[in-house]
Structure 1
Amino acid sequence: MEIKLEELEYQQAAIKSVVNVFDGNNKNTFDNACFEGIRSNVCSLSKEQLAENIKSVIIGNGIDEETAKLNELQELTIEMETGTGKTLVYIKTIYELFKHYGFTKFIILVPSVAIRQGVLSTISTFEKQLEEIYGFSPKSFEYNSKKLNKVTNFIEEQHPQIMVMTLASFNSEDKILNQAKREDLFANIPFIEAIGRTNPVIIMDEPQEGMDTENSVNQIAKLNPLFKLRYSATHKVSVNKVYRLTPYDSYKEGLVKKIEVLTVTEKNDEATLKLELSETKNGKNPIQAKIKAWHQLASGKIEFKDTKWLKDGDNLGEVTNNPSYLKYKIERINKSLRTGKWSVSFTNGTEILEKQTSGNIQSVWALQLEWLILRHFTKKQKLSEQGIKCLSLIFIDKVANYVSDDPIIKNLFIEKYKTLYPEFHDGKEPTAEHIDAIQGFYFAQTGKGEFTDNENSMRKNSEVFDAILRDKKELLTYGDSVANRIEFIFSHSALGVGWDNPNIFNIATLSNSYSEIKKRQEIGRGLRICVNSEGQRVYDKLNVADDERINQLTVIPNETYETFVTQYQEEIKEVYGTSKAGAGMTHTHKGKPQNEVHFKRNPNDELNKAFKRFWNALAKKTNYTVSFDEEALIERSKEALNNIDIADYEAEVSSRSIGTITEEGIEDEFGGKESYKLKAYFSALDLVEELSENTGLSYLTTFKIVDGITNHDHLAKNPPQYIHQASSLIKNIELEEMLRGLDYHLTDETFPFEFNDFVKQVDNSGYTDTPKRGIWDKMLVDSHVEHQFALATDLDDEVVCFLKLPSYYKIQTPIGEYEPDFGIVMKRKSLRNGKESEFYFVIETKGTNDINNKKALKESEVYKIKCAVKHFATLGVEVQYKAPVKDYQYFKTEAQKDINALIEEA
């Protein structure tokens, strides 16, 4: 099979963008570009001429000068989205530069062995076809410090030369290229200096991967490049950007596969003993760590969040107030000398690693694999009709989960494959040999032959990448060879960068944490347009229906769709920005300016006399007594708890297809959703103790309630959630029973009269001017509702005076102190006898006028209001209490009813 070379318009535009920068350059020949036996690249253009050419190119490509980042440096940036063929583009650019200008010396600089092998494979794949087009083939080779004769030929040859090398091969002084004292030097100078005399065009593949550090820049400078050409989808440094193919353009024009994101996420997972090591610090104090775990809050709610800083000996159950973790006492916080990663070990044998989650992850993995295999079989049936082989790629968290005595992920894959195979193969069962043959795995190996997930080992071990890339074309067809039979490829980080295959149609990320691979790199492994068994690319029509689409990549990440897409969009914005980037993002972090505000008493004598009369009625203090009907409490609690309905711990699988990628965001289409029940594993809990602690009831009373529980199946589904709901229900019943038996009594004490002028440091939104009827000329407010209420009150002619009640005016209740908001004195003149009367009101403002509005009011707010009703009733008919009140007009209507009733009684 031979992959066919295509002349794609966007690739030709990228090639011409570089070639045209040298427009007008004298063509290099033996006579004008050969000095002392060294054939060099020579540029006859001045800096000014090059700058004019670059400007002309960017104008032609619609790139503004600010985006292009014009600079006198002899560097060009070519930005192409992953999967659009940048390697082939810069290889063809080499051919064109020799054809037009006679440039002969080219170095392709790569950050890793993986990318080096990929480049060499691409050169080999298209060498014959390119020779047919151009009539020549450059000499290409991989730099090897043991084969310096190839470097000598590179320096001397008149024929075009391509040397492919990693940055690591010369980025320190002890490397062979930099050594000045050797018997095999070129013309008695270090090889790097001799290479520098050739003035090579250096092609930087993925330069953001370490090529712009201070050391790297200095080492590359020794090569004395004629020009540096930067090629990547994700540049960190960009200079003279002459070409740009964005994700928006490539996705819109159908230059890459469309993306379906099929997510598997846990729901109602409070019952799991999930843990994450989120942060560590190692200073003067003992080593400490923050661990994300399920916390039981004071409200009874269960929340997954970070702990405080923990050290050896701390008990996670005590820290989180969650008894499920009581057996999790920290034994050791440690950083591995071998891997450099942090871990936390507990006395019960559990260990959690940096950037990994400990929990019921195997259930999620199983569903990810199930859906990957389902999508694979479905696509395989459709694709095989057109001679297209379907491949799937699975990233795993660690090699041991595939290659070990107990390979969890491999076992899960085999189990799911066996289950699903008959459905798509006329009921036939797969043989063990078949299942083994369709799996390929690519991990690094140590010198002893042991597999490892150490990333450095993977970069250095070229044999792994040779195996992947040597058989890359074989992977694209069905047959009898090992590579022909492979359909599912398992890898750790070995295939994360520098490897892709046009026929990857499905990618799953099986990990204990959100993917550490950048989204654009992860999906980039499968974005390329597919090829058939003849090596021809197969395109979809731009407006093809989704059910007929061939080029669709299904990504099955280990996170929610929202998390995946948000990160993907942010990565795009990070590189390309948006038309709205930066808007509304400026903050000084100094806070709002504060003013010194003076609050002065209203000088109106009649107003102040009326207020004092009001305060005399309002200032009486009360205390309370509570009596419980314990039997009623127990019976009501039993009934309530037996009605608890706990949602199943489950995984939700949902599909969304990304329709368009724009600068403003990602537009998608919902593709369906299914739910699967999961089994939770949790520590044993003492239900009586937990409910007693949360509700304040005695063990005996709590036991009587628990003894009447019959819905044990719901308790077993999710004990923490059951306890949370049960505690909340019992507390509400306690409060209702308390209210029934709550009685307030007047005491001999009163609240003091302390209403002098005062000064506050407060910003403009913290107070409202009340010059007409306020006790002070300004009033402190806590919300917009209070602000609007104060404004309306100050304008009402029937109001004599009003104030925001002082913070020391606190009413005692069984569930804590309560501070009402406003005190108002109103007047009404009788038409019958002309007598004027005063009426006193206390108001509690809220975001609703309805006490049964549970969305606007907390349970505690409702009960405090109900307690306050009894308190004010004890003060007598003089003070009327209104709560909750959202707006002044509602209060005025209700107040009028009370005033009319009081007048009639009088």
Structure 2
Amino acid sequence: MKLKLENLIYQDIAVQSIVKVFEGTEKNTFDSACFEGIRSNVSRLSKEEVQESIKNICFENGVNQDVANLSSDKDICVEMETGTGKTLVYVKTIYELFKHYGFTKFIILVPSVAIRQNIIGTFKSFDKQLEDIYGFTPSAFEYDSKKLTKVTQFIEDQHPQVMIMTLASFNSEDKILNQAQREDLFNNIPFIEAIGKTNPIIIMDEPQEGMDTDNSIKQIAKLNPLIKLRYSATHKVIKNLLFRLTPFDSYKDGLVKKIEVLTVTEKNDEASLKIELTDIQIGKGDPKVKLKAWHLNNSNGKIDFKNTAWLKEGDNLGDKTNNPSYLNYKISRINKSLKTQKWTVVFTNGAEVLEKQIAGSLENIWALQIEWLLHRHFAKTQRLLEKNIKCLSLIFIDRVSNYVGETPIIKNIFVKKYKEIYPEYYGGKIPSSEEIQAVQGYYFAQKNSGEYADNEGGVKEQSKIYDLILKGKEELLTISNPVQFVFSHSALGVGWDNPNVFNIATLNNSYSEIKKRQEIGRGLRICVNQDGQRVYDALNVAESDRINQLTVIPNETYETFVTQYQEEIKSVYGSTNAGAGMSHSHKGIPADEVSFKRNTSSEIEQAFRKYWTALAQKTEYTMSFDEDNLIAESAERINKIEIPDFVIEASSFLINEITEEGQNDTFQGSEKVIQKSTFTPLDLIEEISENTGVSYNTLFKIISRLHNLDQMIKNPPRFIHEASVIIRDVELNEMIRGLDYQITGESYPFDFTDFIKNISKEGYVETPHKGVFDKMLVDSDVERNFSLDADKDAEVVCFLKLPSWYKIKTPIGNYEPDFGLVMKRKSLKSGSESEFYFVIETKGTNDINDKKALKESEIYKIRCAMKHFQKLGLEVQYKAPVKEYKYFKTLADNSINAN
């Protein structure tokens, strides 16, 4: 099997966002980028030019400057939800940067073996398909300190080089790359210094995994990068965030699997004697703790799992909870380990509760989790086989010894439950021990001694199963391969994924939120069939027919996180326009060479030439700005701001079920406490200035006119945000008001010939009747429907998708309108026919003030274009935004009748 390369619009936007950063760079050649035998990446763009490009790209992508955290540092962030193909995005970015600018030196930094192996697998999976597109294949290799000839080749070669390495390769002075006293130095300098002379572009995969420590920053700086590109779904440090694909957008547009949470709870759960260590108090005296346990209420007999009061050594948990089941739990010791730095509560009966873990009867919970995992797995396997798709399940466990140790509790439970449940789905057949063993795969970290560890340090190539899981993604996906269940601990928590993981059970007890999001992410990718082709669901697919659904079977603490995870999608990332907006056109179909031929109609040719003569005139703009209007209108609108009290709310919900539409819960009560806020006037001025670009002097004048500063005191950050939005809006209005276009006397040439495009069927429509070309390029369903309707309209003489080189200059970058159209209509009075010329901008709305459907930059460019076309005169009429063709016809009718 070979995974198929797809044409996904959101991935192309992410790739081109990086490419645009270097616009204006002279293409590197042997003569311009080779010094003392070292081939380098060279860009003579100033820091200011790069920053201006970054600012404009953020604006185009709808990334707010506050979110982007614009910085002069050589760092650029790309945020993509787990499972949406960020590895392939930066691999394609490497190809594009060489194609456009001749950059040849790239270093991919990874935090783990799993991620490194995934990157190597990506290069191998798509090398032939990418070579067919770009005409070359870069030399991609793992750094190996025993193979320094590869490093020498990296430094010298003219061909694109990609070195994949971990921070551990050079993060201390004794590493081979840093050594200055060796016989095999490069030109008598340490290899790290020679690499630095190449000015590599550094790609940081999951930089939050240890790449932002003081030592890491210092060591990476030795590589003297041209720029650092940071890719992650969970950035901790954000600088110059150019592109954001949020979980909300990923779910909304069907780019990842939906999540089903199958909660496992025991009947009479209060009998499990669960205990959690939830809080520690350290003061002058002995430490105290709060424990979460089952409390008995004598008045109504109700049992609640809740926190105790502060407990100390000698306290009896049975007495404190009024629950006789805990009378044997007397605290004998509260201690913090020097080795792990974690707190432990030890009871007189020998039981221990470790910080951020549960103590109780976990085996019963694990058994139920595995039981339901098997039910889901077998049911999905039978349904997916009909569509030629293999089903995989992933099981995260608490300790490696529980699967491969002397008493492998979890493995024994799995075997027992497999034998019990398998016959229900396969006609009563009893599986043999050999068959059960064959369906299991596992990947755990191993120490150099050969002992298994609960972390990833020192992973070695261990066995055939290691190769299959970590390296053989395509082999694992084939139905003929028997492995269907993969067991792991932390080693597959980051970087590893497989598109056909449909079920995840978590038999561990960690509370780490980022880790949990990463674990869920192992199964978010859209599935593939046996041809390596991704299989998508329709957006309106019925629940019973959905293919891409990940079932998560959590323990209790994990269920809590999944709820938080879904709330993050709906609320933390904002609203329906969170992240980069895109249409549902992502279903990848392999691209083919498609010929676009000019229409041979003489009527179309004649009309189009006349139309183009009017349309092709170029303009330049000038701007003036009225500061007094800005101050007056901003102050007037800011004075109307009303801020609710800043409160911290504690709420309690009993969760009944979680579905993809949201969660069904029972409200248990809440408490609100009004908070006090502090601020200084200079902080207010500084933050608004950073958000709007308005000078301190102008802002002082605006603030001096405000009489609602009591609203600001309630919640300064929210007031600053709302005031900044108002000022930016007024700024744009003032810029438009003072914008003027002048015709330059130059025109775009009439340069329309047949052409060939490497594009999928989703990227064009047939327009044989009225199209200037027999096919029309389209980027969305809106453009597709507009083209089809225009091609059927008897009043249309001709139309075309305007070429990308037809640009209108605006203060925030060039604007490319969508369609040009010529319409003919006969006068009822005179009987004569007249032609009318239009330019149309299609969007997902007909309302230019619809800020949910339109980005701020789109609104601004449309308003600039209106002024441009006004300068061209009445001959060319501009209609924007337009969602459907019938709305355009209404606008056209109004314009024609008015004339």
Q: TM-score range by the shorter chain?
A: 0.5 to 0.7
Superposed displacement of residue 107, structure 1? 0.5
1:586 pairs with 2:646? yes
Paired residue for 1:397? 398
2:13 corresponding residue in structure 1: 13
Confirm whether residue 235 of structure 1 aligns to residue 295 of structure 2: no
For the Cα contact (< 8 Å) 2:40–2:200, is it kept in 1? yes
1:432 aligns with 2:492: no
Post-superposition CA distance 1:448-492 (Å, at most 9, x none): 333222x253x655658655222221110122xxxx111011111
In the alignment, which residue of structure 2 is the partner of 1:545? Answer: 542
Q: SS where residue 525 of structure 2 aligns?
A: coil
Residue pair 1:520, 1:568 contacting (<8 A) in 2 also: yes
Kindly tell me: are residues 307 and 59 of structure 1, through their superposed partners in 2, closer, same or farther at Cα, counting changes over 3 Å?
A: closer
SS in 2 for 1:265: coil
Partner of 1:244: 244
- The aligned residue for residue 474 of structure 2 is 473
Aligned partners of 1:443 and 1:491 also within 8 Å? yes
Contact 1:264 1:560 in 2 (8 A): no
Instruction: Determine the C-alpha separation between the residues in 2 that align with 1:84 and 1:361.
Output: 34
In structure 2, C-alpha distance between the alignment counterparts of 1:196 and 1:424, rounded to whole Å: 60
Using structure 2 for the length normalisation, give the TM-score. Answer: 0.62
Whole-Å separation in 2 of the counterparts to 1:471 and 1:77: 30
Please give the per-residue CA displacement for 1:102-152, whole angstroms capped at 9, x wherever unaligned.
Answer: 000000011222211211121122122222221211111111222222212
Letter in 1 for 2:348: T
| Residues 319-328 or 194-203, more deviating | 319-328
Residue of structure 1 in register with 2:519 after alignment: 522
1:344 maps to amino acid: V
Aligned to 2:416: 415
CA contact (8 A) 1:264 1:367 kept: yes
Q: How far has the Cα of 1:533 moved from its partner?
A: 1.2
Cα distance, 1:197 vs structure 2? 0.8
* Closer/same/farther in 2, CA of residues 357 and 63 from structure 1, 3 Å limit: closer
Q: 1:513 to 1:273 in 2, by over 3 A?
A: farther
Shift of 1:280: 4.8
- Counterpart of 1:746? none
Q: Deviations over 1:158-188 (max 9, x none)?
A: 1111011112222233322223333322222
User: Which of 508, 530, 533 does residue 536 from structure 1 map onto?
Assistant: 533
Asked if the contact 1:513–1:558 (Cα under 8 Å) also holds between the matched residues in 2, the reply is: no
Supply the distance in 1 between the matched residues of 2:318 and 2:73 (Cα, whole angstroms): 60
Q: SS at 1:122's partner residue?
A: helix
Counterpart of 2:31 in 1: which secondary structure? helix
Within the alignment, does 1:75 sit opposite 2:97 as a pair? Answer: no
Deviation at 1:284, TM superposition (A): 7.1
Partner secondary structure for residue 231 of structure 2: strand
d(CA) in 1 for partners of 2:31 and 2:434? 64
* Deviation (angstroms), 1:587: 5.4
CA distance in 2, matches of 1:252, 1:301: 41
Counterpart of 1:486, as a letter, is: V
Which SS does the other structure have where 1:429 is aligned? coil
Q: Indicate if the aligned counterparts of 2:469 and 2:476 stay in contact, CA closer than 8 A.
A: no
The verdict on how the C-alpha distance between 1:208 and 1:369 changes in structure 2, with shifts beyond 3 A counting, is: same
For residue 97 of structure 1, what is the aligned residue in structure 2? 97
Structure 1 match to 2:675: none
Matches within 5 A, 1:635-654: none
Deviations 1:307-359 (A, max 9, x none): 45555554433444443323223444455566554433333232333322122
Distance 1:278 1:219, change over 3 A: same
Question: What amino acid maps onto 1:325 in structure 2?
Answer: Y
**Structure 1 residues 187 and 284, CA gap change in structure 2 (3 angstroms):** farther
Unaligned runs of 5+ in 1: 590-651, 660-666, 671-906
Asked if 1 retains the 8 angstrom alpha-carbon contact of 2:274 and 2:358, the reply is: yes
Q: Are the aligned partners of 1:110 and 1:164 in contact in 2 as well (CA < 8 Å)?
A: yes
| Residue pair 2:139, 2:162 contacting (<8 A) in 1 also | yes
Matched residue, 1:381: 382
Counterpart Cα distance in 2 of 1:531 and 1:567: 29
Distance 2:114 2:462 in 1: 10
The amino acid across from 1:450 in the alignment is E
Q: Distance in 1 between matches of 2:424 and 2:267?
A: 29
**Contact (CA 8 Å) 1:395, 1:510: kept in 2 or not?**
yes
SS at match of 2:140: strand
For 1:196 and 1:400, the matched residues in 2 are separated by 44
**In structure 2, how many angstroms separate the alpha carbons of the residues matched to 1:669 and 1:575?**
19
Q: Structure 1 pair 13/585, CA: closer, same or farther in 2 (3 Å)? A: farther
The equivalent of 1:559 in structure 2 is 556
Q: Is the 8 A contact 1:210 1:216 kept in 2?
A: yes
Partner of 2:109: 109
For the Cα contact (< 8 Å) 1:502–1:529, is it kept in 2? yes
CA 1:104 to 1:266, structure 2 compared with 1: closer, same or farther past 3 Å?
same
Distance in 2 between residues matched to 1:369 and 1:132, nearest whole Å: 45
Name the amino acid aligned to 1:398. R
2:478 and 2:281 mapped to 1: Cα distance? 51
* CA–CA distance in structure 2, aligned partners of residues 444 and 584 of structure 1: 52
Partner SS for 2:107: strand
Following TM superposition, by how much is the alpha carbon of 1:44 offset from its aligned partner in structure 2, in angstroms?
2.3
Q: Distance in 1 between matches of 2:321 and 2:558?
A: 29
The 1:576/1:305 distance shift into structure 2, 3 A limit, reads same
| CA distance in 2: counterparts of 1:508 and 1:13, whole angstroms | 35
SS at match of 2:163: strand
> Are 1:263 and 1:560, in contact at CA under 8 Å, matched by a contact in 2?
no
Contact 1:264 1:654 in 2 (8 A): no
Q: Retained in 2: the 8 A contact 1:106–1:163?
A: yes
SS class of match (2:96): helix
Asked if 2 retains the 8 angstrom alpha-carbon contact of 1:77 and 1:230, the reply is: yes
Identity of aligned residues (%): 67
Shift of 1:6: 1.4
**Please, which runs of 5 or more residues in structure 2 have no aligned partner?**
579-641, 666-899
Task: Classify 1:226/1:583 alpha carbon distance in 2 versus 1 (closer, same or farther; 3 Å).
Answer: farther
Matched letter for residue 543 of structure 1: N
Residues 45-444 of structure 1: pairs in structure 2 closer than 5 A: 45-266=45-266, 268-280=268-280, 289-296=289-296, 302-307=303-308, 310=311, 313-335=314-336, 341-444=342-445
Secondary structure, aligned partner of 2:528: coil
Q: CA deviation at 1:570?
A: 5.3
SS at match of 1:106: strand
For 2:295 and 2:144, the matched residues in 1 are separated by: 56
Secondary structure of 1:445 counterpart: coil
SS in 1 for 2:276: strand
Q: 1: CA distance between counterparts of 2:156 and 2:571?
A: 43
**Structure 2 CA distance for aligned equivalents of residues 237 and 574 of structure 1:** 21
Question: Per-residue displacement from partner, 1:246-279 (whole Å, max 9, x unpaired)?
Answer: 1111111111112211111346533332222334
Distance, in Å, in 1 between the alignment partners of 2:540 and 2:269 is 41
SS in 1 for 2:12: helix
- Residue of structure 2 equivalent to 1:487: 484
Query: The residue matched to 1:370 in structure 2 has which SS?
Result: helix
1: CA distance, partners of 2:521 / 2:115: 14
- Find the counterpart in structure 2 of residue 600 from structure 1: none
Matched AA of 1:527: L
Find the aligned partners of 1:55 and 1:517 in 2 and give their Cα distance.
Answer: 29
On the 8 A contact 1:260/1:655 being kept in 2, the answer is: no
- Alpha-carbon distance change, 403 to 354 in structure 1, aligned in 2, over 3 angstroms: farther
Deviations 1:859-888 (A, max 9, x none): xxxxxxxxxxxxxxxxxxxxxxxxxxxxxx
Cα pair 1:507 1:556 within 8 Å, conserved: yes
SS of 2:228's equivalent in the other structure is strand
1:245/1:580 Cα in 2 relative to 1: closer, same or farther (>3 Å)? closer
Change (3 A) 1:420 1:584: farther
Q: Secondary structure at the match of 1:235?
A: coil
Q: CA deviation at 1:154?
A: 1.0
Cα contact 1:391–1:488 (8 A) shared by 2: yes
Aligned counterparts of 1:105 and 1:288: Cα–Cα separation in 2: 56
Cα gap change, 1:534 to 1:301, in 2 (>3 Å): closer
Aligned pairs, how many?
595
- For residue 410 of structure 2, what is the amino acid of its counterpart? I
Distance 2:510 2:63 in 1: 39
Cα distance between partner residues in 2 of 1:87 and 1:387: 26
